[in-house]
Amino acid sequence: MAEEESQFEEFEQIDFLGDRHVRFFQRTLQVLPERYASLETTRLTIIFFALSGLDVLDALDVIDRNTMIEWIYSLQVLPTEDQANLSRCGFRGSSHIGIPYSTKGPGVLHPYDSGHVAMTYTGLCSLLILGDDLSRVNKQACLAGLRALQLEDGSFYAVPEGSENDIRFIYCAASICYILDDWSGMDIQKAIEYIRGSLSYDSGFGQGAGRESHGGWTYCAIASLCLMGRLEEALSQRELDRIRRWCIMRQQSGFHGRPNKPVDTCYSFWVGATLELLDVFQYTNFDKNRRFILSTQDRLVGGFAKWPDSHPGTCSDSLRLLDIGDRAPRVTGTRQERNNEAKHAVLTTPRKYY
């Protein structure tokens, strides 16, 4: 009897609570309490995480696509009549500046209104998930806004008024160009130089030259090169093999982001996705990774936490879902097919990363 009970317990421990996660994402899309105030300027990325999660769970029917599409378009920074603000176009993270709600142009003149590169990226992805054809996106304005953000060293600012600049925003820029199918938004060669410059002595990538290698920035580097179609041009076979080694050494049970740091569920995505892009995810231990991720589920409210027995985050839950859902071993398919799958994988940057 005792043995049966413990077997049942074990089964219960590792079951995947799909319905709870659907409800978690639904609630996220509705109202968040004030203690989430720090997410105000990045609300569009929250939508993206929630939609990605619902998409993976095949549960997009629980939301009203059209109202959501309208809301996203209201965040587009459109050119003014005289087009003087072209270099500031893109998507906002939210209505925090106070522009009156509008889904149509022309843009409103405002001394401080501009897009944010991560919001333009997640805005476009969200529209795609919702089935929108991007016909109301002013592509030329987005690309002009993007060009204004790139520095001489190849990295990008997040916003035209200036911010920190690093590899995260190269990834956002590459994603935008890829989605809009127009690489006039960036100088690819300079971006590649910055990426190469960020390769550390230990063969992970830092946020910029000299900085400590990290799973998130390694993902940004490799994914950007894949989106550009320049992976094997930018990095030699020897370098790629060393990068594979760095990444695969991140697995402890789940994955951590840097040597000698604790595991965190989000790195199952950042590092896992990088390994998949490099064709070696198949050599990781799926079972240990899966068990770790499932152990972080919040059985009551849904969602996943960074670690077991802590609170679910709002941002990275879709990452963890992706990791479980998409990580069936794939030994069939050509390299190109797998690359395309990985490119279409839903990607995100948790709030703390910008």
Partner 1 sequence: MCLSSRDRKEWADLEPVPQDDGPNPVVKIAYSDKFSDVYDYFRALLKNDERSDRAFALTAEAIELNAANYTVWHYRRVLLQALSKDLREEMRYITAIIEEQPKNYQVWHHRRMVVEWLNDPSEELEFIADILSQDAKNYHAWQQRQWVIQEYKLWDNELEFVESLLEEDVRNNSAWNQRHFVISHITGFSDPAIVEREIQYCLIQIKKAPHNESAWNYLKGMLQDQGLSSPPGLLERVLELKETHCSPYLLAFLFDCYEDVLENSNKKENMSEGDRRETLGKALEICQLLAQEKDTIRKEYWRFLGRSLKNKCSGPSDPLINSLLGLFMNTEFNFMSD
What element of type H or E holds 165? Answer: strand 165-166
Nearby residues of 77 by Cβ (< 8 Å), 6 or more positions away: 85, 88, 89, 90, 91, 92, 107, 113, 114, 115, 141, 145
Which structure tokens are listed for 154?
Answer: 């190849």
In the complex, the smallest distance separating the C-beta of residue 235 from partner 1, rounded to whole angstroms, is 15
Q: How far apart are CA 340 and CA 62, in angstroms?
A: 28
- Nearer to partner 1 by C-beta: 269 or 354? 354
Cα dihedral value 262, 264, 268, 269, nearest 10:
-130
Site string for partner 1, 184-223 (x = CB under 8 A): ----------------xxxx--xxx-xxxxx---------
Candidates 94, 78, 98; CA nearest to 145 is 78
Q: How far apart are CA 265 and CA 270, in angstroms?
A: 9
In the complex, the smallest distance separating the C-beta of residue 130 from partner 1, rounded to whole angstroms, is 11
- Nearer to partner 1 by C-beta: 59 or 248? 248
In the complex, the smallest distance separating the C-beta of residue 133 from partner 1, rounded to whole angstroms, is 20
- Nearer to partner 1 by C-beta: 28 or 316? 28
Q: How far apart are CA 114 and CA 110, in angstroms?
A: 9
In the complex, the smallest distance separating the C-beta of residue 200 from partner 1, rounded to whole angstroms, is 7
Interaction of residue 237 with partner 1, rule CB under 8 A: no
Interaction of residue 61 with partner 1, rule CB under 8 A: no
10-39 positions binding partner 1, by CB under 8 A: 28-34, 36-39
**Bridge partner residues of 91 (DSSP):** 76
Q: Kindly tell me which residue out of 242, 290, 330, 343 binds partner 1, with binding defined by CB under 8 A.
A: 242
308-347 positions binding partner 1, by CB under 8 A: 331
The angle, 0 to 180 degrees and rounded to 10, between the axes of the packed helices 317-326 and 43-56 is 30
Measured between alpha carbons, how far is residue 150 from residues 50, 163, 187, 347 in Å? 29, 12, 8, 22
Q: Kindly tell me which residue out of 17, 60, 128, 248 binds partner 1, with binding defined by CB under 8 A.
A: 248
Interaction of residue 291 with partner 1, rule CB under 8 A: no
Which structure tokens are listed for 180?
Answer: 């809009």
In the complex, the smallest distance separating the C-beta of residue 67 from partner 1, rounded to whole angstroms, is 4
Interaction of residue 60 with partner 1, rule CB under 8 A: no
102-131 positions binding partner 1, by CB under 8 A: 110-112, 116
- Nearer to partner 1 by C-beta: 111 or 181? 111
Q: How far apart are CA 153 and CA 329, in angstroms?
A: 39
Q: How far apart are CA 71 and CA 44, in angstroms?
A: 10
157-186 positions binding partner 1, by CB under 8 A: 158-159, 161-164
Q: Candidates 187-195, 248-256, 295-303, 340-348: pick the segment binding partner 1 (CB under 8 A).
A: 248-256
In the complex, the smallest distance separating the C-beta of residue 278 from partner 1, rounded to whole angstroms, is 12
In the complex, the smallest distance separating the C-beta of residue 92 from partner 1, rounded to whole angstroms, is 10
Nearby residues of 199 by Cβ (< 8 Å), 6 or more positions away: 205, 221, 235, 239, 243
In the complex, the smallest distance separating the C-beta of residue 301 from partner 1, rounded to whole angstroms, is 17
